[in-house]
Amino acid sequence: DTAVSQTPKYLVTQMGNDKSIKCEQNLGHDTMYWYKQDSKKFLKIMFSYNNKELIINETVPNRFSPKSPDKAHLNLHINSLELGDSAVYFCASSRTRSGGTEAFFGQGTRLTVV
Amino acid sequence: DQQVKQNSPSLSVQEGRISILNCDYTNSMFDYFLWYKKYPAEGPTFLISISSIKDKNEDGRFTVFLNKSAKHLSLHIVPSQPGDSAVYFCAASETGGFKTIFGAGTRLFVKA
């Protein structure tokens, strides 16, 4: 029974398209995150939600919009996809919103924009 | 601005020997550090952590050492096993902060 699951695992799409990545956690955690792992392999935080409230919004283009319908779900919608958006996107959750809390990650979504 | 640096992209170790993975940080406000392990096509999984009030934390074969004055921490794996072959990420955060900052990772190869 997967703790943090995200779909799809792979996503290949053309420039200019709009796409969504879904994430669900069954751990009962209050906080969820989206991370981006780019070509340099750094894991960079993009967004964090705590009980459906946005608490972290890093310098990310407006084309990226997170949506949290409930505390178990955090989806990521990307408008007008660009080549530079190609990366692996990880969803994660943690028990609390404190930065040092152990995070549980999904398996990642490899997005390729062509 | 890389606040957490893992300067060795890769490390190769013989099975049974010690693996030492290093991490440096620049932000003196960081007071909690974590190590994550990542296998290909999987998300990172938590391995071990250490608070700045300690200089060592041990869990089985894994020990993390923290040198606050040098802003340096290291992960020791003894003895190394082939199943330890993975990418190891160092991460840091500060009390009261919501963000965890990750390094770029070090790929460990343990040869049988």
pLDDT tier for residue B29 given thresholds of 50, 70 and 90: very high
Distance from first CA to last CA of chain B, Å, rounded?
38
Residues of chain A with Cβ-Cβ distance to B98 below 8 Å are: 48, 50, 55-56, 97-99
Distance CA B13, CA A26 (A): 37
DSSP 3-state assignment of A85?
A: helix
pLDDT attached to residue A96? 84
pLDDT at A40: 80
Find the range with the poorest average confidence among A30-39, A48-57, B101-110: A48-57
Nearest to A97 among B41, B94, B98 (CB): B98
A108 close to A21: Cβ distance less than 8 angstroms:
no
According to the model, what pLDDT value does residue A1 have?
66
Judge contact between B6 and B90, C-beta under 8 A: yes
| Average pLDDT for A26-36 | 94
Residue A44 C-alpha, separation from nearest chain B C-alpha, in angstroms: 7
Instruction: Write the CA distances from B84 to A14, B17, B36, B97, integer angstroms.
Output: 38, 12, 12, 31
Contact B108, B86 (CB under 8 A): yes
* B106 inside 8 A of chain A by CB: no
Point out the least confidently predicted range of A10-19, A50-59, B3-12: A50-59
